[in-house]
Amino acid sequence: MLAPSSHNTQPWHFIVDGDAITLCADRLRALSVVDPFDRELIISCGAALFNLRAALSHLGLAYAITLFPSSADPDVLAHLKIVPDGHCDATLAPLFEAIARRVTNRAAFSSEPVSPDVQQRLREAGMAEGADVICIDAVGERERIAELIAEADLVQFHDPRFRRELASWIHSSRREDGMPALSAGLHVLQDVAAPLVALAIRTFDLGDGMAATHRSLVTGSPLFLCLATGVDDAPAWLAVGQALERVLLTAVIEGLSASYLNQPIEVDTLRDRLLATPGLDTMPQLLLRIGRGTPVEHSPRRPLATVMS
Ligand SMILES: Cc1cc2nc3c(=O)[nH]c(=O)nc-3n(C[C@H](O)[C@H](O)[C@H](O)COP(=O)(O)O)c2cc1C
């Protein structure tokens, strides 16, 4: 339940049957404009799956796991069964306590560099789950990516369908999911009363303001992390989701904050241009900025009874 998910859709459902748990994608919560192939939806479920594995390891429970167990139903993403002679990865247990502390932090970070040792630990966390992790801290590269992000903001906010979809997940009537207005990083709207924010997003092309806000956040963040995979299919997305959460929890333990700047990956033509980044020769899946931030509030969650049966 505490995993990150795009637009805080929480697109997962858990079916518990004795000592077995099945994780299903809840495609009713899909974002058809920004995520037409459910790539980010599956990534979000992968993050939830990683939390489940970390929790089982914390409890000392060994398990057998089958990914995509049903060829007939692509919504069934994973089946876990607790078995005494199963898999128990002791390295995951220490990450458990970070699950409740992890939060997406869209505020500015301090410019204090992230040390090479910590970068290496973040890289290893992602690689352990099968994703490539590219650390980008050179100023020139960060600036080039900042330009791609600003360009993507302009493309996305120019599209009324994108704005409508985003607005519906920032809606003030949402209590258990979606994003509070300020958490979307909409600094241009900071002085607008919350119920009006969704209206403003839906109605106006705020691309210029978003681009400027994101450009300054990006250039002020000491480290970018790109998670990438050799192939671009559902199993790869599930792996990236697990890698994402492992990286994020590792960052929490290192005292670091993270937030997302996925826009250039969500716009097809810009995803290709991102590939020109040195060291990046596989498909970019997620772009994070990492640094030291000040505490921010948690976003809402759906009640347990609605995500588990
Ligand atoms: C696959 C994925 C993509 C995301 N993309 C963005 C993004 O582009 N911009 C952003 O501000 N947050 C992004 N997020 C963060 C979510 O909005 C955030 O996880 C959600 O609102 C829940 O908040 P929390 O992470 O603080 O628990 C993304 C999260 C996931 C898992």
DSSP string of 227-280, one letter each residue: EEESS-SHHHHHHHHHHHHHHHHHHHHTT-EEEE--HHHHSHHHHHHHTTSTT-
What pLDDT is stored for residue 187 in this prediction?
46
Q: Which residues line ligand 1 (CB under 6 A)?
A: 4-8, 40, 43-44, 47, 103-104, 106, 179, 185, 259-260, 262, 299
Q: Whose C-alpha lies nearest to ligand 1, atom 10?
A: 260
In the chain, DSSP finds a helix count (H) and a strand count (E) of 10, 8
Reported as a pLDDT band with limits 50, 70 and 90, residue 198 is low
Name every residue whose Cβ is closer than 8 Å to that of residue 260 and which is 6 or more positions away in sequence.
Answer: 104, 286, 287, 288, 289
What pLDDT is stored for residue 78 in this prediction?
98
Q: Report the atom number in ligand 1 closest to the C-alpha of 244.
A: 31
Q: What average pLDDT does the segment 174-203 reach?
A: 60
Question: Residue 22 C-alpha to ligand 1 middle, in angstroms?
Answer: 24
Q: What average pLDDT does the segment 238-247 reach?
A: 98
Beta bridge partners of 173: none
Distance CA 126, CA 81 (A): 24
76, pLDDT greater than 70: yes
Q: Report the atom number in ligand 1 closest to the C-alpha of 2.
A: 27
Question: Residue 63 C-alpha to ligand 1 middle, in angstroms?
Answer: 29
Assessment of whether the complete model's pTM goes beyond 0.75: yes
Q: Whose C-alpha lies nearest to ligand 1, atom 19?
A: 4
192, pLDDT greater than 50: no
Q: Report the atom number in ligand 1 closest to the C-alpha of 184.
A: 11
What pLDDT is stored for residue 204 in this prediction?
63
Q: Whose C-alpha lies nearest to ligand 1, atom 15?
A: 6
What pLDDT is stored for residue 199 in this prediction?
61
What pLDDT is stored for residue 201 in this prediction?
65
Q: Report the atom number in ligand 1 closest to the C-alpha of 43.
A: 1
What pLDDT is stored for residue 108 in this prediction?
87
Reported as a pLDDT band with limits 50, 70 and 90, residue 302 is very high
Q: What average pLDDT does the segment 127-156 reach?
A: 92
Question: Residue 261 C-alpha to ligand 1 middle, in angstroms?
Answer: 9
Q: Which domains does the chain have, with CATH numbers?
A: 6-143+218-307 (3.40.109.10)
Reported as a pLDDT band with limits 50, 70 and 90, residue 246 is very high
% residues pLDDT > 90 (the chain):
73
Q: Whose C-alpha lies nearest to ligand 1, atom 3?
A: 6
Distance CA 146, CA 144 (A): 5
Six-digit token string for 269: 């033509």
What pLDDT is stored for residue 172 in this prediction?
77
Q: Report the atom number in ligand 1 closest to the C-alpha of 103.
A: 26
